[in-house]
Structure 1
C-alpha cells in the first residue's frame, strides 16, 4: 500500500501466464508447417487416415529417419511438432485396433517426441492441447471464427465427424474467453474490496459459461455418435487404466521400462478448472485425484494460472461476508450455469458413449449384416466401453463432478433451493434405459 492506503502493486493479468486476451488458452494462429528438414514427419502426419486405413502407417514410421529436434526454435514450432509426433504415436499404437496393439514405440518416433515433450513440459502422448488448442486454422484469414471457416491442420480417421469433434471444442474454448478475462476482474475486485466490480465480472463469467454450452451443442450437429464411438475414440485413448495395454508402452531409446499416460480428455481443458477454482468447487476422492492429474497434461503456464487462482482469497467467502443480494445472485448464477453445462456434458456423453455401448453389445450378439455406421459401432473397442478416453469411468465421474459443483451454491445452502437438471438430459437417459443389452 502507499501512504494513502491504496494498493499500488501490479494487478494480475493473463499475459503473465502466456494466455491470449483474444483466444484464451487456444494457441493464436498456429503454424501450418515445420522447416523443410522435418518434411518426413509432416508427410506422414498429413496422411494419417489413409496410412491407417491401408495398414501401412507402422511400416512408414519404421522407415522414418531419426531427426534432431534442436532446429525447432520457436514455441509454435514445438507445438506443431508435438501435435504431429503424438498423432503419429496414436496411429502407430492403434492402427490395428485393440487386438493388435504394440509394446514398443520405435526410436525414430519416441526419441523426438520425448525431446519435444520435455521442452514443452508436456507428456509424450496426444492431448487436448494438441488436438484442439494447436490444431486449427482459418480458411479465410480475415473471415470469422466459425465452423464454416475453420479447418484442422492434422486429422485422424473419422472424416467430417473428427473434424467436427475437434473444431466444435475449439469454439467451446473460444466462447469461454470473456469469462477467463473476467476471472482477473473478480480477483482484482476482491483485492480492492469492490463489490460492484466483482458482481459485474461474475455476470460475464456466467454468460461465458452459457455461451460455452451453446457452442457445445454443435457437437450434436457436426459429430455422428456411431463414428465417434466406433472409430474416433480409440485414437484418443491412452495406455493408462486401459485393459488393452495393461503394461503401458516402452518408448525405445528413452527408457527401458514401459510408461503409462492417459489419453486426451475434456478434463485436460484448463477453462473449467479455472471456473472451479474461482467459485471454490471442491473435487474430492477419485474424481478429484483424476482432475488434479489431468493438470499435468496441460501446458505448464496454463496449470500455473489455475493454481494462481486458488492462491488468492476465496470468492465464496467474500460473497458470504458481503451479504450483498446482487453479488450473491451473480455468484449463484455462475454455479447454476456451470451445473447446467455439466448436465449437458452428461447428456452428450450418454448419447455418444453410453447408448452406442449398449447398441454395440446388441450388434455383436446378433452378428447380422448392417450399415457401415452400425458396423463401426459393432467393431468398436470393447475394453473402453462406457469409459472416457482419459481412462475414467465417465458417467460416474461426470455426475460426481456435477454434484460437487451444486454443493457450493449459496442459495442452496441457505434456502434449500435446487439447481434444475437440463430437461433434454432426461430424454437421453430415457432412451438409454430403453436399450436392452441381452
Structure 2
C-alpha cells in the first residue's frame, strides 16, 4: 500500500471528494429524464426488458439516430445518459445470450457512450455507479429510503428480482454512510493524536459494517436465486476475462481494436475499499490486482478518496503505538465485523451463484425439469459458472479477501473470551430450500 506520509491538513472533509453527507457515494437526487433531444435514448432504455424479450432491441438501436453529447451539461445529466447508454449496450450485447454475442457495438451507440464516459472518467460499460448509485428515485420525495418507497429509473430483464438486487445494494450503501462519515474523524484524530476521537469514530465504522450486513440480508427476501442466476446475471457481465467475449468488443467509430471491460461487480463499490484502507487490510496477488483495477470503474473523485486514505496516517500503526486497551479492542471489533460481513457475502454468493450453477449442471445432464426452468438454464451464462460478473474466480477471490481481512487483527482475540468469528462458519451454516 506504500509508505504512509504525514497528513499536513488540519481537517479532512468528504465534500472535497464530492461525497454527500446524506447519501455517501450515492448520487443525490438523480434526474429522471434527459432533455427532449435525447428522447430516442430514453425510449429504448426505459423499454429495454420488453425489447430484449421480443428480440428487437438490436433492431431498435440500429434505427436510433446518432446524437451529439454536447447538450449534456450537468453531472446528473451525464450520469443518467451513462446509465441509459450502458443499459442499451448490455442489452445489445447479451440480447441472445452468450451463444449469439456480437463483436461490434454500432457507431450510433458506441460514439456517444464513449464521449459521455470520457467526460465522467468512467468506462463505457454497465457498472455499479450506474445500476445502484445513479438508478433510484423515491415514490414519496419526503419519505424514507426503504424498499417500499424506492424505485429504479431503468431496469433489465428479471422483473422484481432486478429491482430487489439493485435497491438492496443501494440500502447497503446507505447503511455504510455513518461509517464513511467517521473516516475523516479517524484521520483527523490520528493527526491530532487524540485517542478518544479515533476510538469513538472507529466504533461508528464497526456499527456501520454491522448495519450493512443487516441490509444485505434483505437480498433473500427480494431476489429469487433462479432468476438472478438464469436471467439477470448475464446482463451484468462484461467483455474481459469472459470466454463468451474472448476478443472483447469493437466500439465502432471509436477505435478499430476491440476493447475489454469488466462487468458490474460489488468490488466496484467504494465503501469496502475505504474500510480496507482505513484498517490497513493488505490485498495482494491476483485478488489485490483485481480490486485495484476495479477502482478504475468508480467515479474518479471516489477513487481519489480511497487513495487519500491509503496515503495518509496508518490507523493500525497508531493503534499499536498507543497500546490503549479500549482503542485496541475497538479496532479488533471493527476488523471482526468486516470479516463477518465478508463471510456473509460468501453465503450470498453460495446461494445465488454456486448452488444454482451446480443445479444447472445437473439439470443439463438429466434434462429432468420443467420446460420453463430448462429454458432459463439454457440462457444462463455457462462461461461464468465459476466466475463473478466482474470476471474474477468468485469463491477463491472472496475467501482470499476474507482471509486477508482476518490477517489484519492485532491479536487473536479482543477482551476476555470474546473471540473473532469463525471464518468458515457462515458458509457452512447456509441452508437453501
Which category of TM-score, normalised to the shorter sequence, fits these structures?
over 0.9
Q: In 1, are the aligned partners of 2:162 and 2:232 still within 8 Å (CA)?
A: yes
Q: Which residues in structure 2 correspond to 1:279-318 (within 5 Å)?
A: 279-318=279-318
Does the Cα contact within 8 Å between 1:227 and 1:373 map onto a contact in 2?
A: no
**How far has the Cα of 1:423 moved from its partner?**
4.5
In the aligned structure 1, how far is the partner of 2:108 from the partner of 2:217? 40
Cα 1:59–1:8, aligned 2, differ >3 Å: closer, same or farther?
closer
The structural deviation recorded for 1:128 is 0.2
Which segments of structure 1 move beyond 6 Å, counting only runs of 4 or more?
413-416
Aligned ranges for residues 145-160 of structure 1 at < 5 Å?
145-160=145-160
Equivalent-residue separation in structure 1 for 2:109 and 2:432 (angstroms): 44
The answer for unaligned runs of 5 or more in structure 2 is 1-6
In structure 1, the residue matched to 2:233 is 233
Counterparts of residues 3-42 of structure 1 (less than 5 Å)? 9-42=9-42
Find the aligned partners of 2:54 and 2:432 in 1 and give their Cα distance: 37
Q: Please show how residues 3-402 of structure 1 align to structure 2 within 5 Å.
A: 9-370=9-370, 372-373=372-373, 375-402=375-402
> Counterparts of 2:402 and 2:425 in 1: how far apart (Å)?
15
Say if 1:210 and 1:341, in contact at 8 Å, map to a contact too: yes
Distance in 2, Cα, partners of 1:40 & 1:33: 12
Aligned to 1:410: 410
Q: Distance in 2 between matches of 1:157 and 1:413?
A: 46
Greater RCO, CA 8 A, separation 6+:
2
Q: Which residue of 1 aligns with 2:3?
A: none
Equivalent in the alignment of 1:426 = 428
Q: CA RMSD in A?
A: 1.7
Question: How far 1:373 sits from its partner (Å)?
Answer: 4.6
Distance in 1 between residues matched to 2:369 and 2:351, nearest whole Å: 23
User: SS at 1:137's partner residue?
Assistant: strand
TM-fit CA distance, 1:419: 3.3
* CA–CA separation in structure 2 for the residues paired with 1:209 and 1:225: 24
Distance 1:414 1:333 in 2: 7
Whole-angstrom CA distance in 2 between matches of 1:319 and 1:340: 21
CA distance in 1, matches of 2:91, 2:128: 16
Q: For each residue in 1:231-263, what CA deviation from the matched residue of structure 2 results, as whole angstroms up to 9, or x when unmatched?
A: 000000000000001000000000000000000
The answer (yes or no) to whether the contact 1:356–1:377 under 8 Å persists in 2 is no
1:431 Cα offset (Å): 6.4
The CA deviation at 1:311 is 1.1
Q: Deviation digits for residues 146-167 of structure 1, max 9, x if unmatched?
A: 0000000000000000000000
- The answer to whether the 8 A contact 1:227-1:377 is kept is no
31 and 62 in structure 1: CA distance in 2 versus 1, 3 angstrom threshold: same
Contact (CA 8 Å) 1:359, 1:377: kept in 2 or not?
no
Contact 1:340 1:422 in 2 (8 A): no
1:376 CA displacement: 1.7
What's the CA shift for 1:380?
Answer: 1.1
> Taking structure 1 as reference, are residues 385 and 9 closer, same or farther at Cα in structure 2, changes over 3 Å only?
closer
For residue 273 of structure 1, report the CA deviation from its aligned partner.
Answer: 0.0
- Give the TM-score taking structure 1 as reference length: 0.94
- Aligned-pair CA distance for 1:8: 9.4
Describe the shift of the 1:27–1:414 C-alpha distance in structure 2 as closer, same or farther (beyond 3 A): closer
Deviation of 1:424 (Å): 4.3
Distance 1:381 1:200 in 2: 46
Structure 1 spans left out of the alignment, 5+ residues: 1-6, 433-438
CA gap 1:57/1:133 in 2 versus in 1, 3 angstroms: same
* 1:370-429 superposed Cα distances (whole Å, 9 cap, x missing partner): 16356423531111102100000001000000000000111228999553237442123x
Cα offsets for 1:329-363 (capped at 9, x unmatched): 10001100000000000000000000000000011
